[in-house]
Amino acid sequence: MSLSENAHDPATAEEESAVAGTSLLPRIAGRLGKTLFSLIITLFGLLLVTFTIARVVPVDPALAVVGPRATQEQYEAARHELGLDQPIPVQFVKYLTAVVQGDFGNSNLTGRPVIDDIRDAFPATLELATLATILGVLLGVPAGVVSAVNQGRWPDHVLRVVGLLGYSMPVFWLGLIALLIFYGDLGWAAGPGRLDVTQQMNYELDVTVLTGSVLIDSALSGAWEVFFNALRHIALPVFVLGYYSLAYISRMTRSFMLEQLGQEYVTAARVKGVPERRVVWVHALGNAMVPLITVIALSYASLLEGSVLTETVFAWPGLGLYITQALFAADLNAVLGGTVVIGVSFIVLNLLSDLLYTVVDPRAQ
């Protein structure tokens, strides 16, 4: 059998495919091990930074607990209870041990354990950021592809201006303008908050809370009036954050696509007569998706962290609003707890993007 015939032998192709599939697992396992090690180091650094911040900010945790009118004995007792009278290394070890166990202390603002407050607030932020990211991906990726294919022509100019506006306008300002126009003037959108007051009562009575997402829980419970009311409330903040995500993703997609469209394999595919649609949307976009995965993950993480102003503008009871209120109340436990959760979200999303990177491109080591 000639070499050329052997190269096209179906049995040989199946064997090569099986070997490739087998060799993919060790690569994924190796990359997972490296990523987990980096995750542990990064998490330790995050906790070290948050602990340092808690010790250098001009806020006395003991005074925040007992109040300015407390006696010296009450103040010293609070310091002892919080462990502030112990050496710094001992305080850090206790802080590290407590955080690993999910104990961020109690919130001075609510009087509840911070972890319980975060458990109630984070689903609202997750719901908002997830829908905004989906909107940004569904519109941003096609916009970036169209912009790259039409480089230098009017579609490219229009899409770049739209992206530039979305990326440069402050999110809180865009949120205020959106509220003024679509809620105040036109009445198309619902007001701030996740639900109307009456629907909030229906939600508490008729909806079984499983995920913390009003949309998902109300749909699973069949409370469609609550579902559509929640949809009207979330539409405007999702549009604001989604526009910001769209602008970033479309710009990065355009950059990656321009790089891929200039490669030799694209020229070869066109010479062979491969339809232009397939060249652009399958071959070029398929290769551009490898770095784009990281961009989307970072965009998602930035929305989880950067939704503070949006949640404040729309009175959205998520983690961002919780941290903002804790800052004004000098509630360090709540601020540091929220900061750690956001940092962990960044780390987890980076881990997932690394794993997806390996799956999409098995050549990645």
Report pLDDT digits (tens) over 73-96: 877 887 777 777 788 888 888 888
Q: Is 325 exposed, middle or buried (0-12, 13-18, 19+ CB in 10 A)?
A: middle
Q: What is the pLDDT of residue 16?
A: 46
What is the Cα–Cα distance from 139 to 148, expressed in whole angstroms? 14
Instruction: Kindly tell me if the per-residue pLDDT of 44 is higher than 80.
Output: yes
Instruction: Kindly tell me if the per-residue pLDDT of 294 is higher than 60.
Output: yes
Q: Is 127 exposed, middle or buried (0-12, 13-18, 19+ CB in 10 A)?
A: buried
What is the Cα–Cα distance from 164 to 162, expressed in whole angstroms? 6
Share of the chain above pLDDT 90, in %: 20
Q: Which of 69-83, 291-305, 318-332 is predicted with the least confidence, judged by mean pLDDT? A: 69-83
Q: Is the dihedral of CA 178, 184, 190, 194 positive or negative?
A: positive
Q: What is the pLDDT of residue 355?
A: 74
* 306: confidence class by pLDDT, cuts 50, 70, 90: low
* 282: confidence class by pLDDT, cuts 50, 70, 90: confident
Instruction: Kindly tell me if the per-residue pLDDT of 144 is higher than 90.
Output: yes
Q: What is the pLDDT of residue 362?
A: 56
31 against 309, higher pLDDT: 309
**Mean pLDDT, the chain, whole residue set:** 82
Q: Which of 37-51, 63-77, 110-124, 144-158 is predicted with the least confidence, judged by mean pLDDT? A: 63-77
What is the Cα–Cα distance from 312 to 175, expressed in whole angstroms? 10
Q: What is the pLDDT of residue 143?
A: 94
How much is the average pLDDT of 31-57? 78
How much is the average pLDDT of 301-306? 77
pTM above 0.85, yes or no: no
* 35: confidence class by pLDDT, cuts 50, 70, 90: low
Question: The tokens 């602008």 sit on which residue?
Answer: 247
Q: Which of 50-64, 103-117, 304-318, 319-333 is predicted with the least confidence, judged by mean pLDDT? A: 50-64
92: left (phi over 0), alpha (psi -120 to 50) or beta: alpha
Q: What is the pLDDT of residue 149?
A: 92
Q: Which of 71-85, 154-168, 176-190, 333-347 is predicted with the least confidence, judged by mean pLDDT? A: 71-85
Report pLDDT digits (tens) over 182-234: 888 888 888 888 888 888 888 888 888 888 889 999 999 888 999 999 999 99
How much is the average pLDDT of 126-140? 93
All domains of the chain, ordered by start, with CATH?
114-360 (1.10.3720.10)
* 303: confidence class by pLDDT, cuts 50, 70, 90: confident
Q: What is the pLDDT of residue 361?
A: 63
Return the number of other C-beta atoms located less than 10 Å from residue 249's C-beta.
Answer: 24
Instruction: Kindly tell me if the per-residue pLDDT of 11 is higher than 70.
Output: no
Q: Is 90 exposed, middle or buried (0-12, 13-18, 19+ CB in 10 A)?
A: exposed
Phi then psi for 340, rounded to 5 degrees? Answer: -65, -40
Q: What is the pLDDT of residue 363?
A: 57
Instruction: Kindly tell me if the per-residue pLDDT of 260 is higher than 70.
Output: yes
* 1: confidence class by pLDDT, cuts 50, 70, 90: very low
Judged by DSSP in three states, 4 sits in helix
164 against 26, higher pLDDT: 164
Q: What is the pLDDT of residue 205?
A: 82
Q: What is the pLDDT of residue 62?
A: 73
